[in-house]
Amino acid sequence: MQFTQTAQHDNEIKLKAMVHEQMANLTTHLVKEMQAKYADNIYLYNSHLGVVLQSSFKMSAVESYETLSQTEQESCLYCCDEIKSFFRSQTNQTLFRAFNDLFKKDSRGKAHEWRDIEEAKIKEIFDCAKS
The string of pLDDT tens digits covering residues 18-75 is 888 877 776 667 778 889 999 999 999 999 999 999 999 999 999 999 999 999 999 9
Domain coverage including residue 8: 2-130
Helix axes 30-55, 61-104, angle to 10 degrees: 150
Question: In the predicted model, is pLDDT for residue 111 greater than 70?
Answer: yes
Distance CA 42, CA 76 (A): 9
Looking at the 3D structure of the chain, how many domains does it have?
Answer: 1
The whole-angstrom separation of Cα 123 and Cα 102 is 13
